[in-house]
A = this chain, B = another copy of it.
Amino acid sequence: MAIRYELIKVCKQTGARLGKLHTPHGVIDTPIFMPVGTQATVKAMTPEELKEIEAQIILSNTYHLYIRPGHDIVKKAGGLHKFMNWDRPILTDSGGYQVFSLGPLRKIKEEGVEFRSHLDGSKHFISPEKAIEIENALGADIIMAFDECAPYPADREYVKNSLERTTRWAKRCKEAHKNTDNQALFGIIQGGMYKDLREQSAREITAIDLPGYAIGGLSVGEPKPLMYEVLDYTVPLMPSDKPRYLMGVGSPDDLIEGVLRGIDMFDCVLPTRIARNGTAFTSGGKVVVRNAIYQEDFTPLDPECDCYTCRNYTKAYLRHLVKCNEILASRLLTYHNLYFLINLMKNVRQAIMDDRLMDFRNEFFEKFGYEK
């Protein structure tokens, strides 16, 4: 078995889980936020900086690496870890989400998905077997089954067909997976916003014995309360001796709400993307650095933060860099935003340890400006 989930304790106040995930490239403390390195790089960051902010695992995108540079090249480089100079754990998605996001450029069949590259329009076909072949070549510690992520909103019929195909594809993925000693295959629960369909998918996916399970198809445009509701009835159907991963979720409130409901792993492009647009998470809420009010603000981005950016630069300087479209703006804000979320999760883990995650949530929400 490539990975092993170790449950450390459950928060008495909330039921949230504190754990450790043992992987071939090291042990991960859960709950954890995973920075996204779509194209074999977490945008604007070096691996050393990711370690400095204590990132323990990163995610990379199979679709993007398949298209460019090609999984064969990554394999020849010695695998994704070596290619990108990152020796800690990596998780790769299956490419399913990206392929389905291509819209008119793709055609779904039982066998797999035919699509055209977003780069040059060239024709490609990815089946569950092909997705696993690519993920085996990339060599991440955790690999995801090839699934269909239904859009929101979607009618029941569509979602039901889609989740059932996702189950059949998950079985084919497990069958195709050649490297079970070094790579853990996770199944993905779909079912949209339909309770009975989520239940059906959870039942079917967890029946396939796999080292971990994810919830897909959330944070796709639905209202937040609806997402939390889906988590409320889906997470309890997932086995407690395996890690639970909520895909594509990464706003501070969603991370906390997810952990409260028993989630162990998260990923999202949000912190890095908004950083490049000049927006920062701070202990007092979001800060749009470009705003004119910061023109002569010679205080740090977040006075409570002790990251490299906040220790060395003022809002006035960061605003100047953002307005000039300087690379250093993207660097400093990305660094800070990732630090913020990683630090948030560290505090969340401590709160679970101290059996006070609900109190922590309420304090954080009040300070950040979220509705309680």
Contacts and interface: CB of A to CB of B under 8 A. Distances in A.
21 contacts: A39-B321, A39-B326, A40-B317, A41-B321, A43-B326, A43-B328, A44-B327, A44-B328, A69-B295, A69-B323, A73-B316, A76-B296, A77-B314, A77-B317, A78-B298, A84-B317, A85-B312, A85-B313, A85-B317, A327-B327, A327-B331
A296 B319 CA distance: 40
A44 B295 CA distance: 22
A324 interface: yes
Interface in A51-92: 68-69, 73, 76-78, 83-85
Given A68-B320, A69-B295, A331-B46, A326 B41 contact: yes
Contact of A68 (B39, B69, B323): B323
Contacts of A327: 43-44, 327, 330-331
A344 interface: no
Interface in A320-372: 320-321, 323-324, 326-328, 330-331
Interface of A: 39-41, 43-47, 68-69, 73, 76-78, 83-85, 295-296, 298, 312-314, 316-317, 319-321, 323-324, 326-328, 330-331
B85 A328 contact: no
Contact of A298 (B76, B323, B328): B76
Contacts of A39: 320-321, 324, 326
Contacts of A77: 298, 314, 316-317
Interface of A is mostly: loop
Contacts of A76: 296, 298
Contacts of A47: 312
| Top 5 A-B pairs, shortest CB-CB distance | A44-B327, A69-B320, A41-B328, A39-B324, A85-B312
Contacts of A295: 69, 73
A261 to B, nearest CB: 35
A88 to B, nearest CB: 15
A162 to B, nearest CB: 31
A295 B77 CA distance: 10
Contacts of A43: 326-328
A361 to B, nearest CB: 34
A282 to B, nearest CB: 19
A69 B323 CA distance: 9
Contacts of A73: 295-296, 316, 320
Given A47-B312, A69-B320, A73-B296, 4 more contacts: A41-B328, A69-B319, A73-B316, A83-B316
Nearest to A40: B320
A319 to B, nearest CB: 8
Contacts of A314: 77, 83
Nearest to A327: B44
A73 B321 CA distance: 13
Most buried by B among A69, A85, A321: A69
A55 to B, nearest CB: 15
